[in-house]
Amino acid sequence: MQQDKHPAYHEVVFRDRAAGYAFLTRSTATSDQTIEWDDGETYPVVDVEISSESHPFYTGKARTVDTEGRIAQFERRYGGGQDA
């Protein structure tokens, strides 16, 4: 890597406030807020709205789509499925 061309890469805590979950990783993200982590060190903290703990795909709480109801609604609206 060339010097002075890349952003600083350092340890950061990402915190999902909705799920009450936080994890420590390395990132170029910055923040003025700090948090004391389990190891006793202080790290910058970045609040996120969705993480793997609160995202419906990862938690198994994904919404299922009623495809049969959609097909019936389409046929009622546009008269599909009838031979003219």
Write out pLDDT tens, residues 36-62: 999 999 999 999 888 777 766 655 565
pLDDT average, residue stretch 21-30? 91
What is the model's pLDDT at position 48? 86
* 6 or 2: which leads in pLDDT: 6
Residue 81's pLDDT band (cuts 50, 70, 90): low
d(CA 71, CA 60): 25
As given in the structure block, the two tokens for residue 72 are: 């019936």
Pairing of β 42-48 and β 10-16:
parallel
Show the tokens assigned to 29. Answer: 């993200």
What's the whole-model pTM score?
0.59
